[in-house]
A and B are shown apart, each in its own frame.
Chain A
Amino acid sequence: MAYEINGETYEADEEGYITDIGSWSEGLAGLIAEDEKIEMTDEHWEVVNFLREYYDEYQIAPAVRVLTKAVGKKFGKEKGNNKYLYSLFPYGPAKQACKIAGLPKPTGCI
């Protein structure tokens, strides 16, 4: 499949993960989110931007347990739990948030 913004095409795999991480932009993220039926709020962006920083530092997309723990460490306990993250990304924070962040599917994804 592919995403299209202003006539530009961005390749993605059959699950909707973009294939070229370098082609990511906030506009593209918004489009992927729309496709996931997610309305992006500041809280969504906080997680998406955090994932991009994580990827930049470690070159992988974290497993959900690792993401949850890391989010709790950075943004506080009330955000470092499944209830909060699933309220933002109902189909799984690692899967949906990673997709919106332009990252590959998480390693050890369960």
Chain B
Amino acid sequence: MSDNNEAPPPIPPDDDEDEFGVIKKFCYVNRKAPYGTVYALESLEMVLIAAAFDQDVSVVFMDDGVYQIKSDQAPEAAGMKNFSKTYRALEGYDVEKLYVSKESMEERGLTTDDFLVDVEVLDAAALSALLAEQEVVITS
């Protein structure tokens, strides 16, 4: 509960660019299937929090991680919350650098039409170049 006996806090300024000071290049690499473990959901939450703190965020989907952004997920039947819709919220958080491993996608018979968000497809060489330029890489 808010303690409404005290005066409300001051109103923060709109879009204060200096608010968080240091901005780092964060890359979140997702390699696991969306359900069965909590890795995908936790990674997505980390991405949202990093974005809320105005960090420079990239997200990579590779190996079974490509299934995280597959359209038409229906985990409700297994008693799981369908959090796949949340990937569509990333754009509103200004997270627009979403990458998929070309090899992982093709090995699983997927194309970019199967994904619920717009992604850029990178081959292994391009992916390693992307990772090399990051300051923080978090794999899960």
Contact = CB atoms under 8 A, between A and B. Distances in A.
Interface of A: 1, 15-16, 35-37, 57-60, 62-63, 65-66, 68-70, 81-83, 86, 90-92, 95-96, 107-110
Given A36-B2, A83-B11, A108 B82 contact: no
Given A82-B12, A82-B14, A108 B51 contact: yes
Contacts of A62: 89, 92
B117 to A, nearest CB: 12
Interface in B41-58: 45, 48-49, 51-53
B93 A57 contact: no
B83 to A, nearest CB: 6
Interface string B60-82: 00000000000000000000011
Given A66-B93, A108-B52, A110-B53, A36 B83 contact: no
Interface of B: 1-2, 4, 8-9, 11-15, 45, 48-49, 51-53, 81-83, 85-86, 88-89, 92-93
Nearest to B10: A86
Contacts of A59: 81-83, 85-86
A38 to B, nearest CB: 9
Contacts of B14: 68, 81-83
Nearest to A91: B2
Contacts of B81: 59
Contacts of A65: 15, 52
B19 to A, nearest CB: 9
B92 A60 contact: no
Contact of A58 (B9, B45, B89): B89
A91 B9 contact: yes
A107 B49 contact: yes
29 contacts: A1-B1, A36-B4, A37-B4, A57-B88, A58-B85, A58-B86, A59-B82, A59-B83, A59-B86, A60-B89, A62-B89, A62-B92, A63-B51, A63-B52, A65-B15, A66-B89, A68-B14, A81-B14, A82-B11, A83-B11, A83-B14, A86-B8, A86-B11, A91-B2, A91-B4, A91-B8, A107-B49, A110-B52, A110-B53
